[in-house]
Amino acid sequence: MKIAIIGGGITGLSALHEIEKQRAESGRQVEVNLYEKGAALGGKISTLHRDGFTIERGPDSFITRKPEMLSLVEELGLSDRLVKNHTGQAYIASNGEFHPIPEGSVMGIPTRAVPFLRSPLLTKKGKMRAAADLWLPAKKEKDTDESLGLFFRRRFGDELVDRLLEPLLSGLYAGELNELSLEATFPQFRQMGVKHRSLIQASRSMAKKRQQSTGTGQKTGLFRTVKGGLSVIVDEMEKAASKGTIHREKQLQEIIPGEEKGYTLYFADGTKTEADEVILTVPHQAVADVLPSLSVGAEMKSLPGASVATVAIAFPALSLREPVNGTGFLIPKGEGDNGVLKAVTLVHHKWPHLVPDGNVLLRCFVGRPGNDAIVRDPDETVIAQTLNELRKFLDIQGEPLFADVTRWKSAMPKYTVGHQSRVDTWESALADEYPGVHIAGTFYRGVGLPDCVRQGRDVASHVLSHSTSSF
Ligand SMILES: Cc1cc2nc3c(=O)[nH]c(=O)nc-3n(C[C@H](O)[C@H](O)[C@H](O)COP(=O)(O)OP(=O)(O)OC[C@H]3O[C@@H](n4cnc5c(N)ncnc54)[C@H](O)[C@@H]3O)c2cc1C
């Protein structure tokens, strides 16, 4: 059997890793090749080393509650390089000031009364409305999908959603809360809404269970990276792969079914190859491009991704007077004259090992849903606007040591209402019209690194166990 994996991000690399692992265990005759359009592997994982700073241009860490990334790191022999995030207070900007996210919040849902009631983030009326969740009758939740915004507004009212939940959750999933799918992003909230009378009560018991499972009752860092940055994981995956399986600068252009079985894959450089099974870990728009007669292609093409830029800005520590000592801050929509700055990580606090002593590093997320034109502007414009907006929140003296802009144009998947059933439809159309061609990765069934590793492994196991080709 000949398998082609398209895309050298974490999903494609995980699929390759799993296929090679199962092949070694079973001794099966499987030829596997991975094709990446760019010169570098890793996709959105991209670590830059500059002047002693380690800069994550895409993801900076992974959550440990989902175990797939941790077990990958173990398999690669990198466990001794794991680094935990320094815990600390994160803030939300409100009326030009920073206020801590109330202690005990779970994804923005308050679970402890005192810090929530003391927080200046909400008005008295907003707090009363949010607390109504405790006595509002349990409502039979709909079977069909709905937006996160609608769901939360029903339980908590608008203030908690606009001032706490939106800035927290829309950073994880690109898109407005009012258009994001409850089913595809946080299905546990819907189950909690059905099972418990109140989401606050349900979140409280969830937080308690988590604290007990850490054994100490202490808040521990939930996130991990590895020394040297996440690209170390990509490099190790490449080293672990058999020689000659990974092909760079190979942009897939079209997939044509063979006369009897399998497919011919045509690349932009004029070369071609044959494969029995094809694993596409590319955006859905790219799937539609390479399979021009796919019946659901028009729908796949019509759904845009969101754009964001990460802007890393380094300063000598003396240049920055921080009003608060925390890991970062979020800027809700409408705060700071409707700017484009969405969130800032104070890297020197959250990941001090990435920043040389005597310096600070700000990792800024720029571009909002419906207001992301800045991502297409030249570097000088992006840096100037980011600095301008930063100065509204922080006391910055002098000029930066350097700034690095990374654009993720239309690269952020938007899990809007109906996402899950759309992906189901796409998968069954592929199974009917192009048997042996599969989709996996961030655009389909989960956006976090552990979700992508899981999808890569699952699609690899599926291909190995369901293939009808002779081997
Ligand atoms: C700014 C940012 C911050 C993030 N922060 C976090 C975080 O802290 N933690 C976390 O868990 N997740 C985070 N994420 C999400 C996570 O990084 C992604 O979901 C994940 O890396 C996606 O992996 P993937 O392999 O599915 O896709 P990608 O990384 O997008 O890889 C797809 C690959 O396919 C290649 N490709 C596309 N078309 C073709 C073609 N025609 N032929 C050949 N190759 C092609 C691309 O070049 C690319 O290399 C973040 C994402 C971004 C953008």
pLDDT tens for each residue of 66-115: 999 999 999 999 999 999 988 778 999 988 889 999 998 888 899 999 99
Mutate to test the pocket of ligand 1, among 44, 248, 284 (most ligand atoms within 8 A of CB): 44
Nearest CA to ligand 1 atom 12: 448
220 has pLDDT over 60:
no
328 has pLDDT over 70:
yes
Break the chain down into helix, strand, coil percent, rounded to 5: 40, 25, 35
**45 CA from centroid of ligand 1 (Å):** 7
Which residues make up the CATH 3.90.660.20 domain(s) of the chain?
306-412
**336 CA from centroid of ligand 1 (Å):** 30
Q: In the prediction, which pLDDT does 196 show?
A: 73
Structure tokens at 141: 């939740």
DSSP 137: P
Nearest CA to ligand 1 atom 13: 59
What SS3 state is found at 404? strand
CA distances (Å), origin 429, targets 258, 281, 433: 18, 17, 6
Q: In the prediction, which pLDDT does 211 show?
A: 67
Atom of ligand 1 nearest to the CA of 61: 8
**146 CA from centroid of ligand 1 (Å):** 26
| Residue list, ligand 1 pocket, CB within 6 Å | 6-12, 35-38, 43-45, 58-62, 251-252, 281-282, 286, 308, 310, 408, 411-412, 441-442, 447-449, 452
Q: What is the mean pLDDT of residues 200-227?
A: 74
What SS3 state is found at 427? helix
The model's confidence at residue 335, banded by pLDDT at 50, 70 and 90, is confident
Q: Which residue's entry shows tokens 């654009």? A: 407
| Tens digits of residue pLDDT in 350-409 | 999 999 999 999 999 999 888 889 999 999 999 999 999 999 999 999 999 999 999 999
What SS3 state is found at 382? helix
**39 CA from centroid of ligand 1 (Å):** 15
- Distance between alpha carbon 75 and the CA centroid of its chain, in Å? 22
CA–CA distance, 329 with 347 (Å, rounded to integer): 11
Structure tokens at 355: 């920043």
CB atoms inside a 10 Å sphere around CB 238: 16
Strands 246-247 and 31-35: parallel
Atom of ligand 1 nearest to the CA of 443: 26
The model's confidence at residue 437, banded by pLDDT at 50, 70 and 90, is very high
The model's confidence at residue 342, banded by pLDDT at 50, 70 and 90, is very high
Sequence letter at residue 363: R
215 has pLDDT over 90:
no
What SS3 state is found at 195? helix
Which residues make up the CATH 3.50.50.60 domain(s) of the chain?
2-39+242-303+416-466
CA–CA distance, 312 with 322 (Å, rounded to integer): 17
**44 CA from centroid of ligand 1 (Å):** 4
Q: Does domain 2-39+242-303+416-466 have CATH number 3.50.50.60?
A: yes
Q: In the prediction, which pLDDT does 217 show?
A: 44
Q: In the prediction, which pLDDT does 192 show?
A: 77
Q: Does domain 306-412 have CATH number 3.90.660.20?
A: yes
Q: In the prediction, which pLDDT does 218 show?
A: 46
Question: What is the CATH number assigned to the segment(s) 118-213?
Answer: 1.10.3110.10
Please give the sequence-ordered ranges of beta strands (E in DSSP) within 122-251, or none if there are none: 223-226, 246-247
Nearest-CA neighbor of 348 among 394, 381, 391? Answer: 394
Nearest CA to ligand 1 atom 38: 282
**435 CA from centroid of ligand 1 (Å):** 25
Nearest CA to ligand 1 atom 49: 43
| Tens digits of residue pLDDT in 107-138 | 889 999 999 999 999 999 999 999 999 988 77
Nearest CA to ligand 1 atom 33: 7
461 has pLDDT over 80:
yes
Atom of ligand 1 nearest to the CA of 406: 1
CA–CA distance, 177 with 354 (Å, rounded to integer): 32
Contacts 24+ apart (CB under 8 A), 418-424: 418/145, 418/181, 419/145, 419/181, 419/183, 419/184, 420/145, 420/181, 420/183, 420/184, 421/145, 422/299, 422/303
Nearest CA to ligand 1 atom 14: 59
Concatenated DSSP letters of 237-273: HHHHSPTT-EE-S--EEEEEE-SSSSEEEEETTS-EE
DSSP 180: B
Nearest CA to ligand 1 atom 22: 442
What SS3 state is found at 230? coil
The model's confidence at residue 470, banded by pLDDT at 50, 70 and 90, is very low
20-34, 143-157, 191-205: least confident range: 191-205
343 has pLDDT over 90:
yes
Atom of ligand 1 nearest to the CA of 289: 41
**89 CA from centroid of ligand 1 (Å):** 28
158 has pLDDT over 90:
yes
**43 CA from centroid of ligand 1 (Å):** 5
Q: In the prediction, which pLDDT does 222 show?
A: 86
Which residues make up the CATH 1.10.3110.10 domain(s) of the chain?
118-213
Nearest CA to ligand 1 atom 50: 59
Atom of ligand 1 nearest to the CA of 41: 49
Helix axes 148-156, 187-195, angle to 10 degrees: 40
Nearest CA to ligand 1 atom 41: 252
**201 CA from centroid of ligand 1 (Å):** 36
Contacts 24+ apart (CB under 8 A), 93-99: 93/329, 93/330, 93/331, 93/332, 93/335, 93/336, 93/393, 94/120, 94/121, 94/163, 94/332, 94/335, 95/335, 96/336, 96/392, 96/393, 97/323, 98/323, 98/324, 98/326, 98/329, 98/393
**171 CA from centroid of ligand 1 (Å):** 16
Nearest CA to ligand 1 atom 7: 59
- Distance between alpha carbon 128 and the CA centroid of its chain, in Å? 33
**280 CA from centroid of ligand 1 (Å):** 13
Per the prediction, the chain carries an average pLDDT of 92
Element (H, E) at 167: helix 166-172
228 has pLDDT over 50:
yes
